[in-house]
Structure 1
């Protein structure tokens, strides 16, 4: 379940960078901030962690002052592409594009949902800066419409040498996808990150928001036109961030974020027309994370429907997205009926896998928190097919989110 009294600063040391922002996002829920824990301090330390993970030339307002400019050598790849910047993965000095982009998507979603609460904690500018540090790098990594750099550094040589990024001597080779070596999952997730971030910046930096949207549209076209798993093109990523779920979920995820950012009917039609074929309406999920995005897609589409959108777009298909979203929520509550419920430890902690399980704990906390808010705003309740079918109040989802 949710983090309870576990400090985010402790979790930061355990999670890869991609899943980490889910913990940060869950902290932004008003219910959690009112639960009696010092979530403001945890929020601040989470954002400080990302400053410590910055790669490249550091800004003057860098608060983690024991970090100095790093990984600035050999910045030009193939003679012209500057890949300085971005974030290192947690605990090593490799820049992995797929989880990094997912990080930016999730932090942006957190700001979109809970920006007022972040601002009241005095952390909104730090959160926005964290997004921009990521998107500035992702823009650099996308120098042409059908080219995207997806990794800098090699995991094997990096993990054999324990050293600070300031002293790095390991490989800084760069790896890319293109039309001949596709990576729809990587391009799709990066499109989602750009689209989500464009919403964050639309009220702060209009020209930058427009630039991000242009990038997102290009990347979505790239992902959809040239289909394939990115780790078949960037094979050095296979030991670390293999795309086990494939790329179908990222295509839907990108379309959902682009629709949310633009209200362009093309993307809602894409979700409706491809929901069955790409699994958005057929996969019932019990986990959400950097590799598998279906539960996030289903949650977003459910919100579109609650807002009265999609009435003229194959409503029965979009309703199936919402049905799957609610099955995820009910499974977290243990009310999934015949559906395979989320496994839990004897103490009540969600248990998905033996390694790095906390990413799925925090991701479930985030989704159940935002879904509770969506239901509350719409004046609706959650329907769980448990026995004859029961209605569950949004407050029960919130109780799950903030439970120790």
Structure 2
């Protein structure tokens, strides 16, 4: 991507900690570590489960994961602290400027023993552990370092429990406030560390604490999965054969499998217990903005669970509807096909893919002239005219997936309509594994 250059090379310098690296979450220039860590966990899960299908893209996936984990190692390098954000969201969102020109505050925010943030710390631990699994084949020493740090950060998150909304609410809650509590992230992280280490301490932790996900074992949130809520992901992950070694002591029927099945039944269009909506063209919808994050994340879980249920020759019952594993894979493929252009508008919601795709995405760097083309600095408000311009973005952010159409399959293609036109890393990450699988099948 020749139109992008280095940015934020002094992050952390004011406190003497190197916080350079990582990813901006979406169309802004802030590093929000909670969604960034979830993105990393999902990218690593994509490779862990679908790596054989990546072909020549596998090394690129490893590079993308390590770009994040290098940063998270920095964020967890000071004992007793976990850095969870770099940049002031309000200052950043007040400006429409290229990341290379940033003059907004690059304030680092951290949680600590006295101001805890268990959800973001545990999600970072999950990302480090999941990444250690996939990077082990290429760099065992580095992978061992990731796993060791994951254990340390998990211990910190568990020992000093608290919600980062309370510690950093004024700075995080207009952007990535935690609504589901932190118990799901603690269990999610423990499950990932178990998968990476096979240490019984972490499987025991999952079993001892699963009741904290709402009785009976997250009955209230079994259908939720995303950067904030991990419940459905926990059930699918723990149900898988790779984790079944520690499930002998779970009462029958296995609550993780029961809830994973309930999750499937809450999503499938033909299920009598469906709790999501669908557009006329067949796109899954849940409340809130950036809807395609739900389509990609839930489809990813469907595909993982389809392969698991197929391996044990299991079927799922949704009332009087019998669901075979192939039905789950077909559902996931339908969502992916919709995103790539098989929809009423015949529009691909992946930028740069297909004949018709979003031209005016809500993304600063994409919408402003490249520093190659316009080398003078664009101040904070200097980009406003570009924001309101009806012209297509001058730089194509190839591969980025935007928030998507509305529930009527309509898409305005307007930068101002950010719930639909803004791309985000956590929309893309689950899609990577899906695409790898369907490329090979």
Give the TM-score, by structure 1 length: 0.79
Are 1:326 and 2:256 matched, yes or no?
no
Find the residue that maps to 1:66 and give its secondary structure. coil
- Structure 2: how far apart are the matches of 1:393 and 1:293? 24
- Which residue number in structure 2 is paired with residue 112 of structure 1? 48
Are 1:85 and 2:85 matched, yes or no?
no
- Structure 1: how far apart are the matches of 2:244 and 2:222? 25
Q: CA deviation at 1:256?
A: 0.9
Q: CA deviation at 1:284?
A: 4.0
Find the residue that maps to 2:85 and give its secondary structure. strand
Residue of structure 1 aligned with 2:60, choices 126, 137, 153: 126
- Structure 2: how far apart are the matches of 1:248 and 1:76? 33
Report the more deviating stretch, 180-189 or 355-364.
355-364
- Structure 2: how far apart are the matches of 1:167 and 1:229? 33
- Structure 2: how far apart are the matches of 1:151 and 1:295? 26
Conserved in 1, the CA contact under 8 Å of 2:12 and 2:107? no
Give the TM-score, by structure 2 length: 0.72
Matches within 5 A, 1:392-403: 392-403=323-334
- Which residue number in structure 1 is paired with residue 377 of structure 2? none
Q: CA deviation at 1:267?
A: 1.1
Find the residue that maps to 1:162 and give its secondary structure. coil
Gaps of 5+ in 2: 339-441
- Structure 1: how far apart are the matches of 2:224 and 2:277? 10
How many equivalent pairs are there? 332
Q: CA deviation at 1:374?
A: 1.1
- Which residue number in structure 2 is paired with residue 302 of structure 1? 239
- Which residue number in structure 1 is paired with residue 161 of structure 2? 227
- Which residue number in structure 1 is paired with residue 180 of structure 2? 245
Are 1:384 and 2:317 matched, yes or no?
yes
Q: CA deviation at 1:273?
A: 1.1
Report the more deviating stretch, 201-210 or 372-381.
372-381
Root mean square deviation of aligned Cα: 1.7
Q: CA deviation at 1:308?
A: 4.2
Q: CA deviation at 1:379?
A: 2.5
Find the residue that maps to 2:105 and give its secondary structure. coil
Q: Using a 3 Å threshold, how does the CA distance of structure 1 residues 391 and 74 change in structure 2: closer, same or farther? A: closer
Are 1:182 and 2:116 matched, yes or no?
yes
- Structure 1: how far apart are the matches of 2:243 and 2:42? 21
Residue of structure 2 aligned with 1:293, choices 207, 230, 233: 230
Are 1:102 and 2:38 matched, yes or no?
yes
Q: CA deviation at 1:354?
A: 4.4
Find the residue that maps to 1:81 and give its secondary structure. coil
- Which residue number in structure 1 is paired with residue 421 of structure 2? none
Residue of structure 1 aligned with 2:10, choices 73, 81, 86: 73
- Structure 2: how far apart are the matches of 1:175 and 1:144? 13
1:22-65 residue CA offsets vs partner (Å, 9 max, x unmatched): xxxxxxxxxxxxxxxxxxxxxxxxxxxxxxxxxxxxxxxxxx12
Conserved in 1, the CA contact under 8 Å of 2:38 and 2:123? yes
Q: CA deviation at 1:310?
A: 2.3
1:271-293 residue CA offsets vs partner (Å, 9 max, x unmatched): 11111123344334333110001
Q: CA deviation at 1:203?
A: 1.0
- Structure 2: how far apart are the matches of 1:75 and 1:398? 44
Conserved in 1, the CA contact under 8 Å of 2:267 and 2:274? no
Conserved in 2, the CA contact under 8 Å of 1:288 and 1:296? yes
- Which residue number in structure 2 is paired with residue 358 of structure 1? 292
- Which residue number in structure 2 is paired with residue 49 of structure 1? none
Matches within 5 A, 1:147-296: 147-235=81-169, 236-279=171-214, 280-296=217-233
- Structure 1: how far apart are the matches of 2:252 and 2:225? 24
Q: CA deviation at 1:329?
A: 1.1
Q: Using a 3 Å threshold, how does the CA distance of structure 1 residues 292 and 74 change in structure 2: closer, same or farther? A: closer
Q: CA deviation at 1:336?
A: 4.8
- Structure 2: how far apart are the matches of 1:355 and 1:111? 27
Q: CA deviation at 1:376?
A: 1.7
1:256-280 residue CA offsets vs partner (Å, 9 max, x unmatched): 1011111111111111111112334
Q: Using a 3 Å threshold, how does the CA distance of structure 1 residues 340 and 226 change in structure 2: closer, same or farther? A: farther
- Which residue number in structure 1 is paired with residue 397 of structure 2? none
